[in-house]
Structure 1
Amino acid sequence: MQPLESLTREAQDLAGKTEHSISWHKKGISDNEAEVARQMQICNACRYCEGFCAVFPAMARRLQFDSKADLNYLANLCHNCGACLHACQYAPPHEFMVNVPQAMAKVRMETYTDFAWPASLGKLYKNNGLTVSLAAAFGLALFLVLTVMSTGTLLHEPLAGNFYAIFPHNTLVLMFGFTFGFAILALGIGVKRFWSEITPGQATGEAIGEAAHNALKLKYLDGGHGDGCNDEDDRFTLRRRRYHHLTFYGFMLCFASTSVATLYHYAFGLQAPYAYTSLPVILGTVGGIGLLIGPAGLLWLNLNRSALHGDAAQKPMDIGFISLLFLTSLTGLALLIWRDTSAMALLLAIHLGIVMALFLTLPYGKFAHGVYRSAALLKWSIEKRMPNKLSLGSD
């Protein structure tokens, strides 16, 4: 039987924790945000990781961590590279249980949910997993396949790659203009709310340029020393950074391909299909290859990362988004290769269904992390140029 003194001490500790939790809740701070605050107090006393990424010098400019806005800002500034976890002397199994990447990841999820627009759809972040993503893609692709079947053109004579013979140009513009426009609007309103809360100050051209450079280069996926992140163990690697680059720039090249094709269509009267040597096709092909290699690599890393990294509850959301990116590229390249065959209509319907599923889930999935993180990077670029009147240590 446990000694009475031990039971009394445990009861007192529990009462203290409960009282502390209530005080946090009165300030509108969640349990996950309170955990980040606890860990930041420990890190702020240690400061061993101050040179690792922007989180720690931003932390050092604060003496207290009782502001919800500050906690959300620091959480979205974290790139989850893992370097601080593997360097920390207070990491699990130490009794302090300091695991900054995991604590920050949980708060980031709350940020996306809290600032989501419309607010009622914020809960989709917790449900937008692999099953939902694939079900949406399959359902929309099946709908388009059945639509094409109803016209009797699912299997047809080669049409020289003329997609508009299957789906009229204006129909495609209406379908994807609406879904992509809604995704941009929802993300834009969400990040605007986040930006207003963290009160970033006045953005100068220099600060904007530095933030853009850091975001596009993925500066803080280098572990603070240029050797890269920690994934499944203490070994440093640049794989995450490179796969992220392939994914992001592959996506941007595909977007550029669509933009150039739009310019060709409306400004110069050049109708699709375009030759394999044309600019839209070259951009789309190179981007598509990047969107095959990048997501495949990120999926492999995600499945093999240490359980201490990030929030395990968010893995389905991560994998769902990665899978849609990969399938978008795979079906797009297949459509390009076999566009002058009798299977073109079938491939087109499948590809368009997957793209539409990607656009519809974009505002409520992993894509949001890039938008919110970019805002946090801009906040840091502004903040570091301001006088530091709070920190007792180095700036």
Structure 2
Amino acid sequence: MSTELIAEARRQVEICNACRYCEGYCAVFPAITRQRAFADGDITQLANLCHNCRGCYYACQYTEPHEFALNLPKALAEVRQASWQDHAWPRGFARLYDRNGVVIAALLVVAIALLFALAQAFRPETGEGFYAYMSHGLMVAVFAPAFVLPLAAIAVSLRGYWRSVGGGAVSLTDLWAALRSAGRMDNLSGGHGEGCNFEDADRFSNARRGFHHAVLYGFLLCFASTSTATLMHYLLGLEAPYGPFSLPKLLGVPGGVLLCLGTAGLAWLKLKADPELGAPKVWGGEMAFVALLFAVSATGLVLYAATGSAAVGWLLPLHLGTVLTFFLLIPFSKMAHGFYRLAALVRDQTERG
């Protein structure tokens, strides 16, 4: 990681530690006040604990034109992004994605969708629903490694991060507290429940928190839908397609709607927000992730609505292309932030004792 990024973040954190005006804003400031000196790993931990709500920036009396020129959200965002790059595996692709996220995601979706479209030439002689276009065996052969390998890469990345921030043994109590905090999005409440200042300077808003909730729980519902369908297929012998009142559909359709609403909302807020209070160099890669997750949910809903029509022949490759691209880019896209933020929350709980 750049020593300049760490040095600048450390300078600003030390000033914040002397001031302590923002002590109740989020988990970052109590973590700052627990220390007198900050090693590189401490700065990395604070950066990943920061949720970029920006309340501290608009409350700060030492921002430009003051000579201290504090911009803590930006300083921590740049360290945070650099830490993901440093710990990502393979590291080189993470940096390439940050510079060209939109292009890489778009090319992967198109290329994979075309491959799935060509694979329909070998469609099975029998099958219902999607399996009339593509065999179940082919889907499993493609998606099983595409799901497992990125998670393995994330595990390698988190192991490196945990070592760099001095993480040790974790109790179930600490893990549960971190999961609760992440599930409630506590650090997007501004410390006072009125919300953060992400998209509109001095105006408090819970919009970003709400859209994050929609994305998180929409994703979990979709994952539960897929998991339920897998169990039904292998344990109960109940093969797709499933009816509208089946458990996979009752979980998946609301999940897809929540994902669409959440990602569209986050993209809207990101367009309104000041890019100079984040990491502007990776703005495109972050927006590419939001757009990709929206495409995953939107194509899934459209595909479900088109069931039984001729449109399934081209909608299915498009949807599978977006899903597979999403999985492959998990270790390098903004999706990684969920894993790192949870790790930072766990680390914070262990520090609190």
- Normalised-by-shorter TM-score class: over 0.9
C-alpha distance in 1 between matches for 2:64 and 2:84: 27
C-alpha distance in 1 between matches for 2:260 and 2:188: 21
- 287 and 160 in structure 1: CA distance in 2 versus 1, 3 angstrom threshold: farther
Aligned counterpart for 2:218 among listed residues 247, 250, 260: 250
TM-score, with normalisation over the residues of structure 1? 0.86
C-alpha distance in 1 between matches for 2:168 and 2:25: 25
1:284 counterpart = 2:252: yes
C-alpha distance in 1 between matches for 2:55 and 2:123: 57
CA displacement at 1:215 relative to structure 2: 0.9
User: In the alignment, what sits opposite 1:180?
Assistant: 147
Query: Structure 2: any 5+ residue segments left out of the alignment?
Result: none
**Cα deviation per residue 1:345-386 (whole Å; 9 max; x = unaligned)?**
21111110111111111110101111111101001111011x
Letter in 1 for 2:299: T
Aligned counterpart for 2:50 among listed residues 71, 78, 96: 78
1:43 counterpart = 2:16: yes
C-alpha distance in 2 between matches for 1:223 and 1:78: 11
Aligned counterpart for 1:119 among listed residues 91, 98, 105: 91
RMSD: 1.7
Letter in 1 for 2:165: I
Aligned counterpart for 1:132 among listed residues 89, 104, 129: 104
C-alpha distance in 2 between matches for 1:241 and 1:152: 44
User: In the alignment, what sits opposite 1:9?
Assistant: none
Conserved? CA contact 2:200–2:273, under 8 Å = yes
C-alpha distance in 2 between matches for 1:254 and 1:160: 24
Query: Residues 223-242 of structure 1: matches in 2 within 5 Å?
Result: 223-230=190-197, 231-242=199-210
Report how many residues are paired: 351
| Identical pairs, percent | 42
User: In the alignment, what sits opposite 1:219?
Assistant: 186
User: In the alignment, what sits opposite 1:260?
Assistant: 228
1:210 counterpart = 2:177: yes
Conserved? CA contact 1:112–1:125, under 8 Å = no
Farther off after superposition, 115-124 or 71-80: 115-124
**Cα deviation per residue 1:328-361 (whole Å; 9 max; x = unaligned)?**
1111001101111122121111110111111111
C-alpha distance in 1 between matches for 2:320 and 2:275: 36
Runs (4+) of structure 1 moved beyond 6 Å? none
TM-score, with normalisation over the residues of structure 2? 0.96
Query: Structure 1: any 5+ residue segments left out of the alignment?
Result: 1-27, 154-158, 386-395
- 316 and 223 in structure 1: CA distance in 2 versus 1, 3 angstrom threshold: same
Letter in 2 for 1:320: A
Larger radius of gyration: 1
C-alpha distance in 1 between matches for 2:222 and 2:183: 17
C-alpha distance in 2 between matches for 1:119 and 1:313: 17
1:110 counterpart = 2:82: yes
Conserved? CA contact 2:97–2:285, under 8 Å = yes
1:143 counterpart = 2:112: no
1:269 counterpart = 2:226: no
Letter in 2 for 1:259: S
**Cα deviation per residue 1:257-279 (whole Å; 9 max; x = unaligned)?**
00000000000000100001100
